[in-house]
Amino acid sequence: MSGGRKRKLRLSKIYSFACCKASFEGDHSQIGGKGYSRVVFCNEPDRFEDGVRNYADNSVRSTKYTVATFFPKSLFEQFRRVANFYFLVTGTLAFTKLAPYTAVSAILPLIIVIGATMVKEGIEDWRRKKQDILVNNRRVKVHKIDGIFEYTAWKNLRVGDIVKVEKDEFFPADLLLLSSSYDDAVCYVETMNLDGETNLKIKQGLEVTSSLQGDLNFQKFNATVKCEDPNANLYSFVGSMEFEEQKYALSPQQLLLRDSKLRNTDYIFGAVIFTGHDTKVIQNSTDPPSKRSRIEKKMDRVIYFLFCILFLMAFVGSIFFGFITKNDLQNGSMKRWYLRPDDSTIFFDPKRSAAAVLFHCLTALMLYGFFIPISLYVSIEIVKVLQSIFINQDIHMYYKEADKPARARTSNLNEELGQVDTILSDKTGTLTCNSMEFIKCSIAGVAYGRGTTEVEKAMDRRKGSLSIHGHDIELEEDDIRGSLDKKPLIKGFNFADERIINGNWVNEPHADVIQKFFRLLAVCHTAIPEVDEDTGNVSYEAESPDEAAFVIAARELGFEFYKRGQTSLSTHELDPVSGKKVERKYKLLNVLEFNSSRKRMSVIVEDEEGKIFLLCKGADSIMFERLAKNGRQFEEKTMEHVHEYADAGLRTLILAYRELDAEEYKEFDNKFSKAKNIVSADQEILIEEVSDKIEKNLILLGATAVEDKLQDGVPDCIDKLAQAGIKIWVLTGDKMETAINIGFACSLLRQGMKQIIIHLDTPEIQALEKDGDKMAIAKASRQSVLLQISEGAAQLTAYRGSSQQAFSLIIDGKSLVYALEDNMKNMFLELAIRCASVICCRSSPKQKALVTRLVKSGTGKTILAIGDGANDVGMLQEADIGIGISGVEGMQAVMSSDIAIAQFRYLERLLLVHGHWCYRRISSMICYFFYKNITFGFTLFLYEVYASFSGQPAYNDWFLSLYNVFFSSFPVIALGVFDQDVSSRYCLKFPLLYQEGVQNVLFSWRRILSWMLNGLISALIIFFFCTKSIELQAFDVEGRTAGKDILGATMYTCVVWVVNLQMALAISYFTLIQHFFIWGSIGFWYLFLLVYGAMPPHFSTNAYKVFIEALAPSPSYWIVTFFVVISTLIPYFSYSAIQKRFFPMYHEIVQWIRYDGNIKDPEFCDMVRQRSLRPTTVGATARLAAKAHHIRNRNVNRR
């Protein structure tokens, strides 16, 4: 049985765990002190001391509210908005005699709006609650008594419990690994949920507990763990375990973190150390930064502006009212006799006019509150949620291969997608597939591999060969494809060279070097083989796609790694003498792990003959300086090939080895073990120092070259985004040469574009680096970067008069350190934003975040960051919009993003279609809200003026209350969800449409104020036309004149008709839903008038049967309504017709193309698109435009 075989393995030395028996040096001296006070009694969770310590239970809660806090906390959130708080105050004042309307009619709309928002909050929180319930009720085996393990829910676990976790299960808490199905307590862990990495990590329990492999072993097991207090550091753990009267040091290797998954191990036993919110993963879970769109922030300023107008109107009206009231009673003569100033309340008492002014001001503030759209916030939230659903359901952004649709993780930023000025993109896994293919190699100074990369094809285009000899290149590509198609496609392997494949390498001049080269690839790694029992095929779990590609390449070329033993590796190798496959076994002594500072990885193995070898692979910048004098035989040729590979956009590694004698290895092993045993902050430094001394005097074998292919559609997507006027920066950790060539492949760079390269690889800096004077290096580097930035700015200034010259800026990570300093960052930013494209190479995650912050704060424009890995999280959270690619590097970038997509190419549709639509819809929606409320509010104000500021509303109380809720809001919501100025096809055909959002032309102060002016004009026409038309003459056949009730109902009817028909005029794309809401709102007004008017007079007041008895039978009502509505709409209609015909905006030009049928005229369409075909931008279209311009200039010069 495979399970039995596993238990006999001892994998202790795979990561040098044999020398990981941590000692009590360094940090362990702090146990029991501050920050290290946690005590856990293993297998005794009911112990009294645990109860006293009051450790957290294992249930987790991600909800915003609880049952007890939902109402108070949710209400607080709602009334933090100034508009909602204002309506709360006016609603409270409505219970006083100051109110111009009844309290119920004032409070009910507020309750409806606040209630709707709270219901939405409650639904969202309930979804989070259900997720929490699902997690908390997961099942795990826990030790109950006498070696019996029973299933229990995660939430019931307590500190000290012993649990048994089985293969492919998640760890329910932070556990101390005691033992596993392997004899030496090793287990494999997948930490994708923690750090986004898909590779497996190896953990190992203490040797003293490794024998506890059966359930019954825990009958009498007791141990005491003393360790650090809960903290967020995923990669540290300091503690000790007292077991059988002996103390043993604990390290991170014994800690299994909650939400990690057990892989390739049948089971493990562990003791619960941290539970619930004390676990490291929960300690790490911070709330994402609160992001609000620019439109929403501006909307708040517009509302403040309306408040200023409201207060001004109330103040000015109250002053007028005070003067009029003071003069009401003079010498016994009463001007406004109907108010009885000789016997009035304080509100109209001429003798107390100052108090009357104050009270009138409060009344006016309540009455004019209808200027503020009470339903605006909740309507926008509803619209944004529906827009997000449309984004999630877009079939054109669904990636079928991975079954991944687009996912808007927040709806707050929909309209921000239509205003992006600059995109900051990661390269690996974002622009490229992060699916590495072994394609070329250099061995013993000879280049092998005949494949052609995407970058090489792009280089051919740069040289002009594709445009001139396009047919020949296509035939060549077909030949290459044909040669590859002859053999089955193997993921990670795209190598073709008859000199190497099928064992032909044995006939090469340096066959011994080739053998060592592929043997190194087969042995120098941390991959885990998985053998298919049915077919015998071997697959690999590797730390990275690169490493998997190397092991697969070795396998395909005759060096198959197929088994990892207790302290050994086994391979099937082609014997050059016999020509047959033979099994070879290598004793694995040590693994010197890869990290970003070492930039290399080594293993030390002993072969079957007893020889000890150090096998090393690493970056060329590190490896060449570590070669021995007698190991540089192939250095010149290899370096030449490495540069060629980098030019072709390939990722390269140098392979080298050395043989160690027994004494040298023994000395190293002692030092290495000592460094590994010290658990302190200096441990990593000590390990690196020891490793550094052994990884010298290496003998060069050659170099590998793997291709990370561009994702499908990346060049076309970048081309469209560039045509839309969006700037694109690439922030990558790759070498400058690789990044530049990827830039050419996706048309971010092109032939003829002047490159401003800022780097520190100058002889002066290199000389200082050899001396090691850090102060001198920093000073010289700072001066060098400043000089290069100044020279770049001078170049741009010199070409300022030439509109045809494009520049690109390329800067490396070392230079970026100084360019981001406070005294230099503004100069750097000014230079960067004047360039067509920017590429930052060798960037660290922190630098990516700092560059994002600089661009966001320095430009004040909307910045979008897109990435796929854990190293992109800072950049995504810093940007205005973070887009996560759900690729192969785990889900951490997606979990930190605002919107997740599966492929970079979907960014084109997300921005140019959904972004443009959402921006236009939200902008138009908000403008229309202000229009309809100003139209309504100003009719109230004008009636106030007409009635000498008496504080009497023109309309019935319930007419006032329901205007924003039922008679005008639903068509606006339909506009926000369904309206389209142009279809998605036209959005993509004319990318420059997107600039309307970037320049914010649809939500500028000019446009907002023009809609407000339209509202004022509408109010003036409605009020004066209605009052003058029915003021004096008889209203019905019986000769009665119109009273306040008839005038109010007539004006209200005109307002409802006007604001809804205004919406119909503003809509570009009618759907059945919009028709339903527009005509339904008007129809509902008449229905309401009938039903409300039929209610008893004490409830319907002056609306009692007003429609049936007064309005409907009167021709004057219908005639006035018709002519007033038409008259009110004429100004907007006239302005709109003139503007669209003679001064059209860009989207209106596109609409004319569609309506006139010119869409099939390519010359006319090109003429409209020409503004986006600028030769100073990037992309394939700009490249062609620049080339055409160059040819025209050349022809002119020849003449």
Looking at the annotation, which residues are catalytic? 426
**CA nearest 321: which of 347, 295, 296, 287?**
347
Kindly report the CA angle at 1073 between 1067 and 1075, in degrees rounded to 5?
A: 60
Tell me if 848 is assigned to a ligand binding site. Answer: yes
Spatial contact of 425 and 717, defined as CB atoms under 8 Å apart:
no
Tell me whether strands 239-243 and 186-190 are parallel, antiparallel or unpaired: unpaired
Tell me if 842 is assigned to a ligand binding site. Answer: yes
CA atoms within 13 A on the CB side of 550: 27
8 burial type by CB count under 10 A (0-12 exposed, 13-18 middle, 19+ buried):
exposed
Q: Which two tokens stand for residue 502?
A: 């099928």
Round to whole Å and give the CA distance between 163 and 267. 10
Q: How far is CA 315 from the centre of its chain?
A: 47
Tell me if 734 is assigned to a ligand binding site. Answer: yes
**Beta carbons within 8 Å of 1032's beta carbon, 6+ residues apart:** 1041
Spatial contact of 996 and 1146, defined as CB atoms under 8 Å apart:
yes
Q: Which helix (H) or strand (E) holds 947?
A: none
Tell me whether strands 559-564 and 727-731 are parallel, antiparallel or unpaired: unpaired
Tell me if 651 is assigned to a ligand binding site. Answer: yes
Tell me if 872 is assigned to a ligand binding site. Answer: yes
Helix crossing, 916-946 with 353-367: angle to 10°? 150
Round to whole Å and give the CA distance between 679 and 681. 7
Spatial contact of 814 and 760, defined as CB atoms under 8 Å apart:
yes
**Beta carbons within 8 Å of 991's beta carbon, 6+ residues apart:** 720, 721, 723, 724, 725, 912, 1172
| HEC letters along 115-164 | HHHHHHHHHHHHHHHHHHHHHHCCEEEEEEECCEEEEEEHHHCCCCCEEE
Round to whole Å and give the CA distance between 728 and 430. 13
Tell me if 600 is assigned to a ligand binding site. Answer: no
Tell me if 427 is assigned to a ligand binding site. Answer: yes
Tell me if 35 is assigned to a ligand binding site. Answer: no
Q: Which two tokens stand for residue 896?
A: 């930190």
| 558: DSSP letter | T
Residue 652 backbone dihedrals phi, psi, to 5 degrees:
-115, 150
Q: Which two tokens stand for residue 800?
A: 């300022």
| 634: DSSP letter | T
Round to whole Å and give the CA distance between 17 and 768. 39
Distances (CA, A) of 1049 to 137, 939, 1134, 1152: 60, 12, 28, 41
Question: Which sign does the torsion angle of CA 985, 991, 996, 1000 carry?
Answer: positive
List the beta bridge partners of residue 1066: none
CB atoms within 10 A of CB 783: 12
Distances (CA, A) of 151 to 56, 137, 166, 167, 221: 21, 11, 12, 15, 19
Spatial contact of 956 and 328, defined as CB atoms under 8 Å apart:
no
Round to whole Å and give the CA distance between 877 and 830. 23
Round to whole Å and give the CA distance between 584 and 569. 8
**At residue 854, what is the residue type?**
L
**At residue 348, what is the residue type?**
F
Tell me if 708 is assigned to a ligand binding site. Answer: no
Round to whole Å and give the CA distance between 101 and 957. 5
Tell me if 196 is assigned to a ligand binding site. Answer: no
Round to whole Å and give the CA distance between 967 and 977. 18
Spatial contact of 168 and 262, defined as CB atoms under 8 Å apart:
yes
Tell me if 800 is assigned to a ligand binding site. Answer: no
Distances (CA, A) of 632 to 444, 445, 641: 10, 10, 15
| 1159: DSSP letter | G
Q: Give the 3-state secondary structure of residue 12.
A: coil
Binding residues for ATP: 426-428, 547, 594, 617, 651, 732-734, 842, 848, 871-872
Binding residues for Mg(2+): 426, 428, 868, 872
Binding residues: 426-428, 547, 594, 617, 651, 732-734, 842, 848, 868, 871-872
